[in-house]
Structure formats: C-alpha cells, structure tokens
Chains A and B, each alone.
Chain A
Amino acid sequence: MTLAQIVAAGIFVTTFVVILSERLHRTIAALVGAVVMLIAGMALGFYSQEQALAAIDFNTLILLLGMMILVRMLQHTGFFQYMAIKVAQRTRGNSLALFVALGSLTTLLSMFLDNVTTVVLIVPVTILIAEILGISPVPMLMAEALLSNTGGVATLVGDPPNVVIGSAAGFSFISFLTHLAPLVLVAWLVALFVLRFVFRRELGARSANVEALAQLDANAGLTDRTAMRKILIVLGAVIVLFFLQGALLVTPGFIALAGATAALLWVRPNVDETLRRIEWGVLLFFAALFVAAGGLEASGVLRTIADGMAELAGASLLGASLVMLWVAALLSAIVDNIPFTIAMIPVIEQLGFLGINSTPLWWALALGAGFGGNGTPIGSTANVVTVALSEKTRTPITIRVWVRSGLPVMLVTCTVASLLFILFFGWMQTH
C-alpha cells in the first residue's frame, strides 16, 4: 500500500468509527472526514477539489430532496394519521389483525416514502390506539420499524442505500421492482410470521374497549383536505413517472424534484416553513460521505479491495454476491448502512471495469444493507426513532425486546434472501 492509500483509508475508517461512536453528530463527523480527506488528498496529490466535487452524486441528493419536500408537505395535512386510524378501525380492535394491518400500512408507505417519516408519524397513532384499547403497543411498534426497513428494500426510492445504488448502477425503478420486490414480499411474509411467533402472548390479548377505537374521528385528524388531495395526485404522478423513467430517459431525481416543484406551485404552502422541515443535515451527510469516499477511491484503496474481490468473483460470482449480502447485512446492523453503501459503490464499479458482471453484487448489496438494518436498535434510523418514541411511554422497547424480535427477523430474512438469490441467480445477473 502507498502512503496515500494508508492515509485515505485511515481518514475514512476514523470517520466511520466516529459516526458509529455517536460522540459527534454524524453530519459534523462526515463533514470533518470530507474536509480532512480533501486536505490530505491535495497535500499528497491523490485527490483534487474538482474530483471531490465530481464524487458527489447529485442525482441521489436531488431525489432525496424532492421526496423530502413531498413528504413534508403531505405530513402537514394529517394524511398519515388518517390512514392509520382508518386501517386500524377495519380490524375492529383485534390485536393480531391490528398488528398485521399497521405493519402492512407501514410497509406500503415506506416503499415509496422515507422510512423515518413514516415511522415518526405512524408510531404515535399506534401508541394511541394500543392505549385506548388496553393492549401492548410493543408488537405493533416492532412490526412498524422492522417492516418499514424491509419494505424499503423493494423499490428504488424505498430507502437511501437503494437510491444510491440505483443511481450508481443506473438501474431503473422497474428493475428494482422486478428483482427485489418479489424477494421482499417473501421476506416480509416470513418476518411477519417470525414476529407473530415471538409476540404470540401479547397478540393473544383481547382488546378491552373496542368502541373507543370506532369513536376515533379520522376526518377530524385531517387538517388540510384540499392540500392532501393535491399532494397525493402529484405523488401518484411521480410514482407513475418512476415506472416510465426508463422510457423517458430522465433520472429519478429529476422526476422527484419536478414533482416537488409541481406540488409547491399547486399548494402554495409557506415556503420558508416547508423548507425548514427538510433534513438538510441528512443531505449534507450524504454529500460529505461522497467526498470522503471519493478520496478513498482516488487513492486507489478501493481498487485494491476490488482486485481482492475480483479473484473471489472470478472463481464464483454467486459466492462473491452472498459474501457481499452478509457483510453488508452484518455491518448495517451495527452501523449506519449509508457510509458502507457509499464506500462499496466504487468497489463494485471497479469490478464492472474488470469485466465482471457486477449486477448481482448490486442486488446483494441492496438486500444486505436493507435487511441487515433490522438486527439492532441502531441498525437503521427508523429503529432509532421507534425506540426513542417508545421510551417516552410506559412500555419502552428494550435491547432485550429487540434481541428476541429484531435480530431473528434480520437473520431469517437474510437467510431467505440468500436462498432465493441462489435459486434465482440467473435472474439476479440481469437488471
């Protein structure tokens, strides 16, 4: 290894560890990593400012920004609350039905909208419903956190690693649906059964007051019906355009931002207030990580890793894919899956340049990064948020609860994904 490679790897790993330790806000940690990487790169001559700028994947940032604007506008109308109440009322207070219904709603919403927002908005309503029914909210909350991560794997826009992978690999929205959605469906069913088994005692409890659930007035929860209708129409159009994206030859980022623009034009919200609710810190975190990972790539470290993987992939592409899936899963369980995904991108791209079919590796990365996040309470932001919200209640989700429910879900879904991956490996080699 050259000095540049040692320095670049040192900076990136330190950034990774600092993000993991949570001693510093992750956005600051990533920014420091990016700045130090660029200084080292210019001093040692392996990384320039132009390269750093080029390393930022603006399609990812714009796609995230566009979807954030749409979700923030929709959130304000009370739509999520309305949906959760409507779905819950259909179950007539049966705790098992409620568990399946709220879990499925979260999965469906998180396939298209950002997981954290979905969870932040659905969890309080779930706690409300569980409390007035006199049942434990824990199985529902765990289902929401775990199934939002699982559902997010199914689409190009479902979770941030997929956005990054789709953009880097150039996979279309339809391609994600045809390759990952069927796997996710099976994994989702399995996850639901695992949770049903783990929480069989809680889910057997009878609701003490079903009338109170029927008394909830979903319509009164809607604060702005007109705006909600408009934003849902725009969101529907955006999803339709995602399907046509391949034929239209436009990027998903452009579609999302155009959609957000249309919604802003049509609804005319208070722009300052809407923009204040955007998680700029998250976007900056991504940009900084792209710059830091770009330095790692420019130094040649990732090429060394790619060369190592190329040997393995040359011997067995399936083996390399499964290694990718499990390494991504295990790392995503203990750290944020975004830095790892961003660092893996140049590695897989490099394998492509070496003449290896990198397509199955991309799918394996998406599956591992997505399902792995279920393993621990810190595996994904949705988990962190759910645990934090539950800590404000009398039935907090403890590590023990997570180890007996989240961890088995992660291990079982990754195993199921691996088996299906082996079974349909031919299909996984296409995109």
Chain B
Amino acid sequence: MIGSCMKRPAISVAPSTTVQEASQLVVVHHIGTLPVVDARGLLVGVVRLEDLLQVFMPDFVALMDNIDFVHDFGVLEALRPQDVRAAARLTMHDLMQPPVAVKETCGLLRALATMSRHEIRDLPVIDAAGVLVGIASRVDIAVAFFASWVQPELPT
C-alpha cells in the first residue's frame, strides 16, 4: 500500500503562494512536485516542476515541434529567474494543474500505473475527505515494490 511508503506530511503550497516562494521550497527541500491545498487542507491542484519552469522558458519552445537544431539559446542562457517579470505576478493558482491523487489504501502497482498514465513523478495521497496526507515519489513506490526481492545490504 502507498500509505506505508509515502512521505508525510507532504510539503505543500497555497493557491496564493508566489513563484519565488515556491522556488524557495524547491531549493530547500529538493522536491519536484508541489501539491496545492486550500485553507482546510483539501488538495485543490498540483504544480509540477515543469509548470514552474514554464514561466522561465523561452517562448519559442512551446511554439516549435523540433528544437534539436538550436544548439545555443543565445542571450536566453544569461537570463536569471529574477529577470523574468512575469514571475513576479504569477501565483500557484495560475500555474496549478488539476490534481491526480490516490487514497492511502491504493496498491503499489495501481499507484505506479496511475503515475505512468498521467506522466507524473510524484503522487499526492489524500484521505476520504480529500485532505492531503502525504506524497510518494516514483522512486519511493518502486523501492517499496522491490524491497521484498532485494536483500538489504548489511552495514559492514
């Protein structure tokens, strides 16, 4: 079950959290997914690292199918996050995607399949009321899955 391998409590943000505050959480906790919860703790959305980085991506990346021929991003590489003006006025409310989440009792294979289907790397876990209780990464779940098969190495 996912409940036994997830991290709790999950590090979460509010809809009003700014891009800079969110990036601070990413830096401090080294995490790639930020569940968005409202005042009551209900999971209302998810901001993935991709959504956050989208704010800083060059415009052409979204417009072109193929960017393999662009060997040098030119002046764009010199860009610092603080130079992007749009970042100052965006909040998690603007960036969040509808959440994909499972209950604590969700099996490991179902959890892995759900992540693979939705192309996400972290899976928020909610209780019956929809309140965020934890989060499990793909690695957390895979580790739990392989654990019974692999002999843990004894400390020498």
* B66 x A132 contact (CB < 8 A): no
Q: Which residues of B contact A124 (CB under 8 A)?
A: 60, 63-64
A78 proximal to B (CB < 8 A): yes
* A132 x B70 contact (CB < 8 A): yes
CB contacts under 8 Å to B, within A93-140, are 123-125, 127-128, 131-134
Q: Which residues of A contact B107 (CB under 8 A)?
A: none
* B64 x A128 contact (CB < 8 A): yes
Q: Which of B14-22, B73-81, B124-132, B140-148 contacts A (4 or more CB under 8 A)?
A: B73-81
A369-B24 Cα distance, complex, nearest whole Å = 55
A218 proximal to B (CB < 8 A): yes
* A132 x B69 contact (CB < 8 A): no
In the assembled complex, the CB of A397 is this many whole angstroms from the nearest CB of chain B, namely: 13
* B70 x A394 contact (CB < 8 A): no
* B63 x A389 contact (CB < 8 A): yes
* B59 x A132 contact (CB < 8 A): no
* B75 x A133 contact (CB < 8 A): yes
A394-B56 Cα distance, complex, nearest whole Å = 11
**Given A127-B59, A392-B59, A394-B59, does the pair A133, B69 have CB atoms closer than 8 Å?**
no
A35 proximal to B (CB < 8 A): no
B113 proximal to A (CB < 8 A): no
A217 proximal to B (CB < 8 A): yes
**Given A127-B60, A131-B59, A394-B86, does the pair A208, B75 have CB atoms closer than 8 Å?**
yes
In the assembled complex, the CB of A172 is this many whole angstroms from the nearest CB of chain B, namely: 38
* B71 x A216 contact (CB < 8 A): yes
Q: Which residues of A contact B62 (CB under 8 A)?
A: 392
Q: Which residues of A contact B70 (CB under 8 A)?
A: 128, 132, 215-217
CB contacts under 8 Å to B, within A377-417, are 389, 392-394
A132-B71 Cα distance, complex, nearest whole Å = 11
* 13 more A-B residue pairs beyond the given contacts A209-B75, A216-B69, A219-B69, with a C-beta to C-beta distance below 8 A: A78-B66, A128-B58, A128-B60, A131-B59, A132-B70, A134-B74, A211-B72, A212-B72, A212-B75, A215-B71, A217-B71, A221-B66, A221-B69
In the assembled complex, the CB of B9 is this many whole angstroms from the nearest CB of chain A, namely: 37
A37 proximal to B (CB < 8 A): no
A134-B76 Cα distance, complex, nearest whole Å = 8
- Interchain Cβ contacts under 8 Å between A and B, 19 examples: A85-B69, A123-B63, A127-B59, A128-B58, A128-B60, A131-B60, A132-B72, A132-B74, A132-B75, A209-B72, A209-B75, A212-B73, A212-B74, A213-B74, A216-B69, A216-B70, A221-B66, A392-B62, A393-B59
A134-B72 Cα distance, complex, nearest whole Å = 13
* B74 x A217 contact (CB < 8 A): no
> What sequence of 0s and 1s flags, for each residue 115-154 of chain B, a beta carbon within 8 Å of any chain A beta carbon?
0000000000000000000000000000000000000000
A85-B70 Cα distance, complex, nearest whole Å = 10
CB contacts under 8 Å to B, within A125-172, are 125, 127-128, 131-134
A303-B86 Cα distance, complex, nearest whole Å = 57
**Given A124-B64, A208-B75, A212-B75, does the pair A218, B69 have CB atoms closer than 8 Å?**
yes
**Given A85-B69, A131-B58, A220-B68, does the pair A392, B63 have CB atoms closer than 8 Å?**
yes
A223 proximal to B (CB < 8 A): yes
Q: Which residues of B contact A209 (CB under 8 A)?
A: 72, 74-75
A146-B100 Cα distance, complex, nearest whole Å = 45
A386-B71 Cα distance, complex, nearest whole Å = 26
A208-B58 Cα distance, complex, nearest whole Å = 16
A123-B103 Cα distance, complex, nearest whole Å = 46
Contact of A125 among B58, B64, B71, B86 (CB under 8 A): B64
Q: Which residues of A contact B71 (CB under 8 A)?
A: 215-217
Contact of A217 among B60, B64, B69 (CB under 8 A): B69
In the assembled complex, the CB of A362 is this many whole angstroms from the nearest CB of chain B, namely: 39
A215-B76 Cα distance, complex, nearest whole Å = 14
**CB-based nearest B residue for A212:** B74
**CB-based nearest B residue for A221:** B69
A213-B70 Cα distance, complex, nearest whole Å = 9
Q: Which residues of B contact A132 (CB under 8 A)?
A: 58, 70, 72-76
**CB-based nearest A residue for B84:** A394
> What sequence of 0s and 1s flags, for each residue 307-318 of chain A, a beta carbon within 8 Å of any chain B beta carbon?
000000000000
CB contacts under 8 Å to A, within B30-76, are 58-60, 62-64, 66-76
**CB-based nearest B residue for A219:** B69
**CB-based nearest B residue for A128:** B60
* B74 x A220 contact (CB < 8 A): no
In the assembled complex, the CB of A93 is this many whole angstroms from the nearest CB of chain B, namely: 9
In the assembled complex, the CB of A185 is this many whole angstroms from the nearest CB of chain B, namely: 31
In the assembled complex, the CB of A92 is this many whole angstroms from the nearest CB of chain B, namely: 14
**CB-based nearest A residue for B85:** A394
CB contacts under 8 Å to B, within A18-55, are none
A136-B84 Cα distance, complex, nearest whole Å = 15
**CB-based nearest A residue for B59:** A393
A215-B75 Cα distance, complex, nearest whole Å = 13
In the assembled complex, the CB of A76 is this many whole angstroms from the nearest CB of chain B, namely: 10
Q: Which residues of A contact B69 (CB under 8 A)?
A: 81, 85, 216-221
* A131 x B63 contact (CB < 8 A): no
CB contacts under 8 Å to B, within A61-111, are 78, 81, 85
